Amino acid sequence: MEQTFIILKPSTIQRGLVGQVIDRFQKKGLFIAGIKMMRLDEKILREHYSHLVDRPFFPDLLKSMMATPVIVMCLRGKDAVEVVRSMTGATNCRKAASGTIRGDFGMSGQENIIHASDSVDNAIIEINRFFRPEEIFDYSPLTISATYSPDEID
């Protein structure tokens, strides 16, 4: 099944929203394939946000992402990348639709609760960037047959 990559950003740790954000993914039916706390450094952030390194806000983004450790997650599910992006909402929390994570939990464009991979190709790259292979677990949750029809399970 497809996998996607999430970061619970430092502001989410600071604001005590970790449980509520993870709860949404679990209630939706996504399975946790990997989860850990880690401190991000400038090197990994320059790779992860390489599309933004020349933007004027990049120094502030770096500082924000290094403010505390983060929680990184690999979530598994059918069409997981698209499902999680749509649960995440627009980049700016003030513009994100109510019902999305950013729309419900934030007020900022930068401090926008989570990162979520934006394509299947990037999800693979990001999972490999932040996790070692042995940190991603392949198991079949007991709830899988109640979560999907047989033809939806790979």
Q: In whole angstroms, how close is the CB of 13 to ligand UDP at the nearest point?
A: 15
From 83, 115, 123, 131, active-site residue = 115
Which among ligand UDP, Mg ion, none contacts residue 117 (Cβ within 5 to 8 A by kind)?
A: none
Residues from 109 through 138 that contact Mg ion (CB under 5 A): 118
- Helices assigned H by DSSP within the chain: 10-14, 18-28, 42-48, 58-65, 80-88, 101-105, 120-130, 144-147
Cβ atoms of 81 and 117 closer than 8 Å: yes
Give 9 or 76: the residue with its C-beta nearer to ligand UDP. Answer: 9
Helices 120-130 + 80-88 axis angle, to 10 = 90
* Chosen residue from 110, 120, 125, 148 binding ligand UDP by CB under 6 A: 110
Which among Mg ion, ligand UDP, none contacts residue 91 (Cβ within 5 to 8 A by kind)?
A: ligand UDP
Told to judge if 115 belongs to the known catalytic residues of this protein, a careful annotator would answer yes
- Decide: residue 14, CB within 10 A, 0-12 exposed, 13-18 middle, 19+ buried: exposed
Which among ligand UDP, Mg ion, none contacts residue 76 (Cβ within 5 to 8 A by kind)?
A: none
What sign results for the dihedral spanned by CA atoms 39, 43, 49, 55?
positive
The helices-and-strands tally (H runs, E runs) of the chain is 8, 4
* 61 makes contact with ligand UDP (CB under 6 A): yes
- Print the binding letters for residues 90-109 with ligand UDP: x by CB under 6 A, - otherwise: -x-----------------x
Which among ligand UDP, Mg ion, none contacts residue 48 (Cβ within 5 to 8 A by kind)?
A: none
**Closest alpha carbon to 65 in 82, 88, 47, 80:** 47
State the residues that interact with ligand UDP by CB under 6 A.
49, 52, 57, 61, 91, 109-110, 112, 115, 118
